[in-house]
Structure 1
Amino acid sequence: MLIIAGHLAVDPAERDAYVADCRPVVELAREAPGCRDFALTADSVDPGRIDVYERWDTEAELEAFRGSGPDAGTAARILDAEVSRYVIASVGPA
């Protein structure tokens, strides 16, 4: 299992529009084979931060969904990013 987690920095005035524009990607991801969870959400404290959380069964399924990444217009709106990939060896109840 893989977890992709972190955050994006965008112009605070554009954050809510960015999140709204990402809704189709979130919907597609959640329907993709191997996707257990996918969320891009407005941070509750920082007005320029978008929290990223993805959970995938396999690397191959993640890469099949990802393709070439965000389009140039979407990528240009990201001022900074800190997103990491975590490979999970086991999972159990919390």
Structure 2
Amino acid sequence: MAEEIIVAGWMDYEAGDRDRVLGHLVVLGDRTREEEPGCLDYAMTADPGSEQRIRVYERWASRQALDEHFATPHIKEFRAAVAGITRVGVCLEAHTVASSRPMR
């Protein structure tokens, strides 16, 4: 089994733009989960403590699955949809998971 990849962090947009971006991210997330078998989880959510921040959590079956994600038509459509919106801050990191265990 390949090592899983977790992408986590945040993106900031102007307060008035965050919800527009989130609307496009809902469409992107739905298509990503439906059309990409290497996507194990994909969630972009509004940070309740900030009018600018979107929290990012993605879980991928492999590095290859994540790399292939960036070449999909729905990523290109998302990028075109948000092309006029300026991201004012970002902190995203990709983590390679060596092992996992269930929590109870």
TM-score, normalised to structure 1's length?
Answer: 0.89
Cα distance in 1 between the residues matched to 2:49 and 2:33? 26
Task: Count residues with an aligned counterpart.
Answer: 94
Aligned match of 1:4: 7
2:86 pairs with one of 69, 77, 89: 77
Secondary structure in structure 2 of the residue aligned to 1:22 = helix
> What per-residue deviation string (whole Å, max 9, x for no partner) do you get for residues 48-94 of structure 1?
00000000010111111112866255254311110000000011101
Aligned match of 2:27: 24
Deviation at 1:16, TM superposition (A): 1.2
Q: Percent identity?
A: 30
**Residue 60 in structure 1 maps to residue 64 in structure 2:** yes
The unaligned stretches of length 5 or more in structure 1 are none
Q: CA RMSD in A?
A: 1.7
TM-score, normalised to structure 2's length?
Answer: 0.81
Post-superposition, which runs of at least 4 consecutive aligned residues in structure 1 deviate over 3 A? none
Cα distance in 2 between the residues matched to 1:85 and 1:42? 20
